[in-house]
Chains A and B, each alone.
Chain A
Amino acid sequence: RKEVEQDPGPFNVPEGATVAFNCTYSNSASQSFFWYRQDCRKEPKLLMSVYSSGNEDGRFTAQLNRASQYISLLIRDSKLSDSATYLCVVRGAGGSYIPTFGRGTSLIVHP
């Protein structure tokens, strides 16, 4: 089983739709979780950290389910500019300096 797994997609949705991505991780001792966004041929950019109680930033909501070992990202009212690849990132326990990146989920928002 891969350490961090994501559905590669693409998720093809119309503007205004709500879309959700899941990401599963294998290390139950993982401590930190993040979502990044990567545009084509650009560097990944931090979208949001994921907190145990879940957190929201505008149209974006992140959730953590430790029991089932997955994190999720919900995007409401999708915009054309949301089209990108969304990377799930998990950091292990014990003060590990090494995050593990998923391969990413591609989102295409069309008019």
Chain B
Amino acid sequence: SQTIHQWPATLVQPVGSPLSLECTVEGTSNPNLYWYRQAAGRGLQLLFYSVGIGQISSEVPQNLSASRPQDRQFILSSKKLLLSDSGFYLCAWAGTGGSYEQYFGPGTRLTVT
């Protein structure tokens, strides 16, 4: 069966510090991968998605970036965090067989201080 891992679970970082969040998927090949952010009490905001290694599409302009160095690895990064980057970061995968159902990782709760 497929599983998706994210780490760390929680993170407290000062403004201006770098960020690296990692997501890995097991049990599937060539998944579509997604990064979302959910601010407190708000809906899900799609940040990036990827349909293959090295293929990244950005949905909103921001100081974040994403990379997909391997088929089942998706990384979210920032060189300098802002206070507004605080939130709940969720990685998700979806198959490419036509169902388009998304499955989410446990998330990383980021607080920028």
Q: Which residues from chain A sit less than 8 Å from chain B, CB to CB?
A: 32, 34, 41-46, 49, 87, 89, 91, 97-99, 101-104
Contact = CB atoms under 8 A, between A and B. Distances in A.
B104 A43 contact: yes
Contacts of A32: 99-100
Contacts of A46: 101-103
Contacts of B101: 34, 46, 49
Contact of B43 (A45, A99, A103): A103
Interface in B43-74: 43-44, 46, 49, 51, 59
Contacts, number: 41
A76 B90 CA distance: 30
Interface of B: 32, 42-44, 46, 49, 51, 59, 88, 90, 94, 99-107, 109
Given A43-B106, A97-B51, A97-B94, A91 B43 contact: no
